[in-house]
Amino acid sequence: MVKKLVRFFSSLKLTISLLIILALTSIIGTVIQQQQNPAIYVQQFGKSTYQILKILGFFDLYHSWWFITLLALLALNLLVCSLRRLPRDLKLILSPKVKITDNELKSLRPQEKISTNLPSVDQTLEVVLTALKNSGFGCHHKVKDEGVGWYLFSERGKLGRLAFHITHLSIIIIFAGAIIGAAKGFKGFINIFEGEKGKFITLQSGGQGMRELDFEVECKKFEVIYYQDATGNPTNRPKDYKSLLAIHDHGREVLAKEIEVNSPLNYHGIYFYQSSFGEIPRLTITVKTRQGEPIGSFDVWEGGSFRFSDQNGQQTQVTLLRYFPDFYMNQNGQVDSRSNVPNNPAAFLEIKPANDQPQQTWVFYRFPDFPHGGQTDYRFSLTSINSGKKFTGLQVVRDPGVPLVWTGCIILIIGIIVLFSVPHERLWVVIADKGSGQEIMIIGNTNKNKPSFQGRFAQIVTNLKSDLADRTK
Amino acid sequence: MLGLSSKFFGAAMIIYIIATLVYLTYLVIRSEKIGHLATLTTLSGLIIHTTALALRTAASYQQGIGQPPFTNLYSSMVFFSWAIILTYLILEFKFKQKAIGVFVTPIAFILLAVTTLLSNQIEPLVPALQSNWLLSHVVTCFFGYAAFAVACGISIMYLVRVHCEEKGIGQGIVLKTLPPSELLDELAYKAIVIGFPFLTIGIITGAAWANYAWGTYWSWDPKETWSLITWFVYAAFLHARFAAGWKGKRTAILSIVGFLFVLFTYLGVSWLLPGLHSYAIINMFIK
Ligand code: HEM
Taking CB atoms and an 8 Å cutoff, what residues of chain A touch B232?
Answer: 19-20, 22-23, 26
DSSP conformation class of A230: T
Lowest-confidence region among A5-19, A305-319, A357-371: A357-371
A7, A12, A17, A18 alpha-carbon torsion, rounded to 10° = 80
Of the candidates A380, A401, A386, the one whose C-alpha atom is nearest the C-alpha of residue A285 is: A380
- The per-residue pLDDT for B276 is 41
Nearest CA in chain B to A29: B222
Q: Do B208 and A406 touch (CB under 8 A)?
A: yes
- Residue of minimum CA distance from atom 10 in ligand 1: A416
A78 CB less than 6 Å from ligand 1? yes
- The per-residue pLDDT for B128 is 62
Q: Do B235 and A391 touch (CB under 8 A)?
A: no
- DSSP for A298-360 reads EEE-TT-EEEEE-TT--EEEEEEEEEETBEEE-TTS-EEES-SS-SB-EEEEEEEETTS--EE
Q: Is B72 helix (H, G, I), strand (E, B) or coil?
A: coil
DSSP conformation class of A410: H
Of the candidates A262, A247, A268, A249, the one whose C-alpha atom is nearest the C-alpha of residue A190 is: A247
Give the whole-angstrom CA distance, residue A238 versus residue A221. 17
**Exposure on the CB side of residue A24, measured as CA atoms within 13 A:** 7
B254 to chain A, closest Cα gap in Å: 10
Taking CB atoms and an 8 Å cutoff, what residues of chain B touch A261?
Answer: 127-128, 130, 213, 279
- DSSP for A181-220 reads HHHH-EEEEEEEETT-EEEEEEE-SSSSEEEEEEEEEEEE
Of the candidates A227, A197, A222, the one whose C-alpha atom is nearest the C-alpha of residue A212 is: A197
Name the helix (H) or strand (E) containing A380: strand A378-398
Q: Considering chain A, what percentage of its residues have pLDDT values greater than 90? A: 17
Phi and psi angles of residue A255, each rounded to the nearest 5 degrees, phi first = -160, 140
Give the whole-angstrom CA distance, residue B31 versus residue B123. 47
ipTM of the complex: 0.88
- Residue of minimum CA distance from atom 42 in ligand 1: A78
Taking CB atoms and an 8 Å cutoff, what residues of chain B touch A29?
Answer: 220, 225
- Residue of minimum CA distance from atom 28 in ligand 1: A78
B70 to chain A, closest Cα gap in Å: 18
For residue A175, is pLDDT > 90?
yes
Q: Is A133 helix (H, G, I), strand (E, B) or coil?
A: helix
- The per-residue pLDDT for B66 is 65
Give the whole-angstrom CA distance, residue A116 versus residue A469. 8
CA distances from A282 to A303, A328, A379, B169, B174 (A): 11, 21, 20, 79, 76
For residue B274, is pLDDT > 60?
no
Q: Where are the alpha helices (DSSP H) in B30-131?
A: 32-62, 73-95, 101-115
Taking CB atoms and an 8 Å cutoff, what residues of chain B touch A391?
Answer: 286
- The per-residue pLDDT for B270 is 67
For residue A207, is pLDDT > 60?
no
Other Cβ atoms within 10 Å of A156 Cβ, number: 17
Which one of A150-159, A210-219, B27-36, B43-52 scores highest in mean pLDDT? B43-52
For residue A369, is pLDDT > 80?
no
A77 CB less than 6 Å from ligand 1? yes
Residue B26 contacts residue B98 (beta carbons within 8 Å): yes
Other Cβ atoms within 10 Å of B96 Cβ, number: 8
Q: How many helices (H) and strands (E) does chain A have?
A: 10, 20
Task: Give the model confidence (pLDDT) of A101-119 as tens digits.
Answer: 778 778 888 888 888 888 7
Is B58 buried (19+), middle (13-18) or exposed (0-12) by CB count in 10 A? middle
Distance B141 CA to ligand 1 centre (A): 21
Q: Do A413 and B197 touch (CB under 8 A)?
A: yes
A446 CB less than 6 Å from ligand 1? no
CA distances from A310 to A183, A251, A313, A314, B25 (A): 54, 40, 5, 6, 96
Residue B81 contacts residue B147 (beta carbons within 8 Å): no
Domain boundaries, chain A: 2-92, 97-157+423-472, 184-278+392-413, 281-388
Distance A164 CA to ligand 1 centre (A): 7
Contacts made by residues B259-267, CB under 8 angstroms, sequence distance 24+: B259/B148, B259/B149, B259/B151, B259/B152, B261/A23, B261/B226, B261/B229, B261/B230, B261/B233, B262/B145, B262/B148, B262/B149, B262/B230, B264/B226, B265/B223, B265/B226, B265/B227, B265/B229, B265/B230, B266/B76, B266/B80, B266/B145
Mutate to test the interface with B, among A180, A262, A300 (most CBs of B within 10 A): A262
Residue A374: pLDDT band with limits 50, 70, 90 = low
Other Cβ atoms within 10 Å of A205 Cβ, number: 16
B240 CB less than 6 Å from ligand 1? no
Q: Considering chain B, what percentage of its residues have pLDDT values greater than 70? A: 86
Task: Give the model confidence (pLDDT) of B233-265 as tens digits.
Answer: 999 999 988 776 777 888 999 999 999 999 988
Q: Do A325 and B284 touch (CB under 8 A)?
A: yes
For residue B7, is pLDDT > 50?
yes
Domain boundaries, chain B: 1-123, 126-287
| Among A239, A322, A397, beta carbon nearest to B215 | A397
- The per-residue pLDDT for A371 is 53
Task: Give the model confidence (pLDDT) of A241-260 as tens digits.
Answer: 788 888 998 888 888 888 88
Rg (CA), chain A: 38
Strands A265-267 vs A252-260: parallel, antiparallel or unpaired: unpaired
- Residue of minimum CA distance from atom 36 in ligand 1: B243
Residue B215 zone, left/alpha/beta (φ > 0; ψ -120 to 50; rest): left
Cβ-based neighbours of B34, under 8 Å, separated by 6 or more: B22, B25, B26
Residue B48 contacts residue B12 (beta carbons within 8 Å): yes
Q: Considering chain A, what percentage of its residues have pLDDT values greater than 70? A: 97
- The per-residue pLDDT for A299 is 85
Residue B170 contacts residue B114 (beta carbons within 8 Å): no
B112 to chain A, closest Cα gap in Å: 28
Residue A221 contacts residue A244 (beta carbons within 8 Å): yes
- The per-residue pLDDT for B245 is 72
CA distances from B85 to A472, B46, B57, B108, B173 (A): 53, 7, 19, 7, 26
Rg (CA), chain B: 20
- The CATH code for residues A97-157+423-472 is 3.30.160.110
Give the whole-angstrom CA distance, residue B78 versus residue B9. 8
Q: How many CB pairs under 8 A join A and B?
A: 141
Give the whole-angstrom CA distance, residue B145 versus residue B263. 8
Taking CB atoms and an 8 Å cutoff, what residues of chain A touch B204?
Answer: 409, 412-413
B232 CB less than 6 Å from ligand 1? no
Distance A181 CA to ligand 1 centre (A): 26
Phi and psi angles of residue A172, each rounded to the nearest 5 degrees, phi first = -65, -40
Task: Give the model confidence (pLDDT) of A281-311 as tens digits.
Answer: 888 888 888 888 888 888 888 778 888 887 7
> What amino acid occupies position B167?
K
Pairwise pLDDT comparison (B247 vs A205), residue with the higher score? B247
B235 CB less than 6 Å from ligand 1? yes
Distance A95 CA to ligand 1 centre (A): 24
Of the candidates A304, A226, A272, A229, the one whose C-alpha atom is nearest the C-alpha of residue A394 is: A272
Pairwise pLDDT comparison (A370 vs B283), residue with the higher score? A370
Reported pTM:
0.81
- DSSP for B193-220 reads HHHHHHHHHHHHHHHHHHHHHHS-S---
Mutate to test the interface with B, among A21, A192, A275 (most CBs of B within 10 A): A275
Give the whole-angstrom CA distance, residue A281 versus residue A175. 45
Mean pLDDT calculated for residue range A348-352: 87
Other Cβ atoms within 10 Å of A49 Cβ, number: 12
CA B109 from centroid of its chain's CA atoms: 12
Distance A177 CA to ligand 1 centre (A): 20
Q: Measured from the CA of A74, which atom of ligand 1 is nearest? A: 27
Task: Give the model confidence (pLDDT) of B104-150 as tens digits.
Answer: 899 899 999 988 888 777 776 666 666 777 888 888 999 999 999 99
Q: Is A453 helix (H, G, I), strand (E, B) or coil?
A: helix
Q: How many helices (H) and strands (E) does chain B have?
A: 10, 0
B18 to chain A, closest Cα gap in Å: 34
Beta-bridged to residue A350, according to DSSP, are A319, A360
- The per-residue pLDDT for A435 is 75
Mean pLDDT calculated for residue range B173-198: 87
- The per-residue pLDDT for A280 is 77
Q: Do A261 and B128 touch (CB under 8 A)?
A: yes
Of the candidates A365, A471, A361, the one whose C-alpha atom is nearest the C-alpha of residue A125 is: A471
Strands A209-228 vs A197-203: parallel, antiparallel or unpaired: antiparallel
